[in-house]
Amino acid sequence: MSKSKVLLTSLVVAVAFVASASVAMAAPIKIKFSHVVAENTPKGQMANKFKQLIDERLGGKVIVEVFPNSQLFGDNKVLEAMLLGDVQIAAPSLSKFKKYTKSLQIFDLPFLFKDMAAVEKFQQGPEGQKLLMATKKKGLIGLGYLHNGLKQLSASSPLRVPADAKNKKFRIMSSDVLAAQFEAVGAMPLKKPFSEVFTLLQTRAIDGQENTWSNIYSKKFFEVQPYITESNHGVLDYFVITSTEFWMGLPDDLRPQIKKALDEAILFGNTVAAEKAIADRQKIIDSKRSEIVTLTDAERQQWVNVMKPVWKQFEDQIGKNFIEAAIKSN
């Protein structure tokens, strides 16, 4: 080999060595996943499953840190934090996106979905998939939907018919549709963070709230709410979200692997959600701290009649096509 060829070969070897060393030493990608619920809930378990899958498959290259119980951010701040790069993944309830899109308000329309199968069908159908991009203009993209379940009404007195809710104060998530829903029955809705609900109920600063069985159980609302009306009047699901900047900035070989782990974690979370809706309801009954109010068909129909006009109020903001597709999913 000529002298210059030897020189060139050693140069190539040296460059390759430096390059591979720098790849090996590349700082891991950090994903902070912030949420507001307890770890033993559908969302808490989904987030932990995502971390576990990433640790197993991409350990060293990607590090997931999960922050439950509003430890890092409440849902009123988490999306701003995401846009600033302080959080990479979150899964706020679909009711908490009004600053970013009006279309997701569809999920708050009372009595729209008859059960969780209908919710799943709509989310996985063409309109539901289109809605994953509803916040894109604001720099956020939906990576998927996660279930929690149908909401029930808890209160300090039994709620059988809409008149029972009149002049009562209910905590709601930060959604104008939910405000309209409670105003329709003559109640007073108050938008408050999830982290404050227990104390508000305990101190009787408010009379009631609406939530899923797993949230009512895991945050002990049933201990300070003697009545829970099994109304199944609306859905509480999550938008698993990231910032476009973070997502598109991921290396092309890692992005699909992270998405796959997330999809698997969501499927796992959905199974947990279905199980918890049954198991946590039973635990609340067994505790005898709270009485479950079962509505007759005629009583339930009264709630439907009073709350359903809210759909028309928000039809223009949401889009009639989305509402029609949701109705068809039933």
Residues that bind ligand LMR in the complex, under the rule CB under 6 A: 36-37, 43, 93, 148, 173, 194, 211, 215, 236
In angstroms, give the least distance from the CB of 51 to ligand LMR.
18
| Minimum CB distance to ligand LMR, residue 49 (Å) | 17
- Per the DSSP assignment, residues forming a β-bridge with 149 are 236
Six token digits for residue 150: 């149908």
Shortest Å, Cβ 130 to ligand LMR: 23
Neighbouring residues of 5: CB distance < 8 A, sequence distance ≥ 6: none
β-bridge mates for residue 153, sequence order: 210, 229
Check: CB of residue 189 under 8 Å from CB of residue 183.
Answer: yes
Is residue 205 within 8 Å of 267, Cβ to Cβ?
Answer: no
Sheet holding 208-211, edge to edge: 188-191, 169-172, 208-211, 152-155, 227-229, 291-293
* Token pair belonging to 214: 């797993």
Of the pair 36, 250, the CB lying nearest ligand LMR is at 36
The nearest distance, CB 169 to ligand LMR, in angstroms, is 16
Among residues 112 and 197, whose Cβ is nearest to ligand LMR? 197
Q: Please give the Cα distance from 245 to 57 (Å, whole number).
A: 23
Nearer to ligand LMR, 161 or 211 (CB): 211
Show the tokens assigned to 213. 């069985």
Nearer to ligand LMR, 141 or 173 (CB): 173
Closer residue to ligand LMR in complex, CB, 217/319: 217
Count each helix (H run) and each strand (E run) in the chain, helices first: 13, 11
Least distance to ligand LMR from the beta carbon of 252, Å?
A: 32
CA 7 from centre of chain: 59
Nearer residue to ligand LMR within complex by CB, 128 or 234? 234
Minimum distance from residue 240 beta carbon to ligand LMR (Å): 12
Give the start-end residues of each E strand in 158-226: 169-172, 188-191, 208-211
